[in-house]
Structure 1
Amino acid sequence: MANFSLLSISSSLLMIFCGLWSFISYHKHLLNSLLSLEFMMLGIFWLLSLQMSNVGSEVYFGLFFLTLTVCEGALGLALLVLIVRSHGNDYFKSFNILEC
């Protein structure tokens, strides 16, 4: 049982670091950045649910975290649609700071 727990924790940390690596290295498009942020959030949720299962049957905090993650994803997709409609693409280099 200890090997499974260690494997689960290490795989969730691997998910977080892979999401962070892809966020840093593939920052050309906004959609790539949003997907890597969601991948990191899934890794954090998995680690959180593993740790909460060891403490007790506290599921409300995990559901609250998952709800916030879903709201963050919906807000990111709404911003992506708004940016694609206004600029025509989702390249970060095409955004101008001085533009309203």
Structure 2
Amino acid sequence: MAALSVFIMVVPIFMLMSGVSSFVGRRKHLLSTLLSLEYIMLSVFWLMVLMISFLGGDGYFVLFFLTLAACEGALGLALLVSVVRTHGNDNFSSFMSLQC
């Protein structure tokens, strides 16, 4: 039973590390960057749920975190739509700091 609890804790940590490596390594498109950021938020949410349930605490903070993650996702999509409307695509190589 202890090996199962260790495995359950290792999976979100592995998800977090793979999300961070994807966020840092793949910076070609804004959409892939936003998706990796959402993946990081999902793994942190899963890790927080496991830790709070393991410690026997309330889930109110987790719901607050989930609300902030949803707001972050909506803000990211609004930013993506704005960038696509002004620049025509979401490639980072087509952005110039002097255009904005």
With normalisation by structure 2, the TM-score equals 0.95
Aligned length: 100
Q: Which amino acid aligns with 1:19?
A: G
Matched with 2:10 is 10
Structure 2: runs of 5 or more not aligned: none
d(CA) in 1 for partners of 2:6, 2:31: 32
Deviation string, structure 1 residues 32-69 (Cα, Å, up to 9, x no partner): 00000111111111110000001224110000001000
**What is the 5 A alignment of 1:1-100?**
1-100=1-100
d(CA) in 1 for partners of 2:23, 2:38: 10
Q: Which amino acid aligns with 1:67?
A: T
Partner of 1:84: helix, strand, or coil? helix
Aligned-pair identity (%)? 54
d(CA) in 2 for partners of 1:71, 1:2: 36
d(CA) in 1 for partners of 2:59, 2:9: 18
Structure 1: runs of 5 or more not aligned: none
Partner of 2:89: helix, strand, or coil? coil
Q: How far does residue 3 in structure 1 lie from its aligned partner after superposition?
A: 1.7
